[in-house]
Amino acid sequence: MLKIECPWCGPRHETEFRYGGEAHRVRPEKPDSLTDEAWAAFLFMRTNTKGAFAERWCHVNGCRRWFNVLRHTVSHEILAVYAMGEVPPVPGARKEGGQ
Amino acid sequence: MAKYENWLSPVAALAPSFPQGLEALPFCAQVNLRGNPGDPEFMSRVKGELGFALPTVPNTVAGRKKCRALWLGPDEWLIVEEGDARFRDAPEGALAAQLEQALEGLHHAVTDVSANRIRLELSGPEVRTVLMKSCELDCHPAVFRPGQVAQTLLAKAQVILEKPAEDRVHLYVRNSFALYVAEWLVDAFRYSGE
Ligand SMILES: [Zn+2]
């Protein structure tokens, strides 16, 4: 079980949160103009990172706010917690808006 | 007609057999308020209506003994009024209506949630033990302190825990979960301290 630091409420147990998948994915501006392959890539393909991974979490059973977490997918160590819209604070992580 | 006279609590039948330390609190006015705490006009109009400032520190409670604002999120509060002198003569639903009127023209949301949750009071030396058996919140007195509020899961049900004093906690739970949570607490009290 993870102990996650909500930016508002402080450290809380994992059961209070809901996972929101990979962070910093940008929805294509004109999905109509994409090929089926490109649209499917946006919808279904994720990076499946081994190491530091930026992901979204929501404190659904607490303050109900979304935020980003940088988590090591092997050790589960939480390397950083940061606000929606912010760039991951640790070098080597995926950059904001990177596609 | 007295306020909330026709309301029936889902724990009414169980309440007479509650153990010492567990009590059902009477119905009261509860209003969910949303707005931008960075907007001085919003904050001052709410203060003008309630007579105190909304708390902006996460997980804290502000106000008077019988009219308080519980921090629920960075732009969300629960206003609880249980017979406060300022609102005592106001009819059912008046607090929400007055807040709505005071905030007219501003970006905000006022929702009367008085019937959404019932309230239970846990008191006495077993409170911390009972909470520790029931939820994963850190209940250490140095972490969860008097004057604070926490939203968490208690026996898997969403609850709000308000701590007015050491050894005393008000628990807010949705009507549909109330009987289940009350039964859980009756059981938790039974086995604590043995
Ligand atoms: Zn939170």
The 10s digit of each residue's pLDDT in B5-21 is 899 999 999 999 999 99
Measured between beta carbons, which residues in chain B are less than 8 angstroms from residue A10?
A: 58-59
Report chain A residues whose CB lies below 8 A from the CB of B136. Answer: 12-13, 15-16
pLDDT band for position A90 (cuts 50, 70, 90): low
- What is residue A98's predicted lDDT score, i.e. its pLDDT? 40
pTM given for the model:
0.91
Asked whether the predicted pLDDT for residue A88 surpasses 90, the reply is no
Chain B residues contacting A via beta carbons under 8 Å: 58-59, 72-74, 76, 136-138, 150-153, 158
Token digits of residue B116: 């959404």
Chain A interface test: which of B139, B152, B159 (most A C-beta within 10 Å): B152
CA-angle at A54, arms to B159 and A22, nearest 5°: 75
What does the pLDDT read at residue B87? Answer: 87
Asked if A15 and B136 touch (Cβ cutoff 8 Å), the reply is yes
Q: Hunting for tokens 């732009």 — which residue is that? A: B75
Q: pLDDT tens digits, residue range B97-139?
A: 999 999 999 999 999 999 999 999 999 999 999 999 999 999 9
Q: Is the pLDDT of residue B36 over 60?
A: yes
Cα-to-chain-centroid distance, residue B131: 16
Mean pLDDT of the region A68-84: 95
Mean pLDDT of all residues in B82-103: 92
Chain A residues whose beta carbon lies within 8 Å of the beta carbon of residue B59: 8-10
B51-76: pLDDT as tens digits = 999 999 999 999 999 999 999 999 99
B58/A62 Cβ within 8 A:
no
Q: Read off the tokens for A11.
A: 């450290």
Q: Is the pLDDT of residue B35 over 60?
A: yes
Average pLDDT over residues B41-59: 97
Contact B153 A16 (CB under 8 A): yes
For B70, which residue in chain A has the nearest alpha carbon? Answer: A63
pLDDT at A95: 47
Q: What's the B83 CA to ligand 1 centre distance in angstroms?
A: 30
ipTM above 0.85, yes or no: yes
Asked if A16's CB is within 8 angstroms of B152's CB, the reply is yes
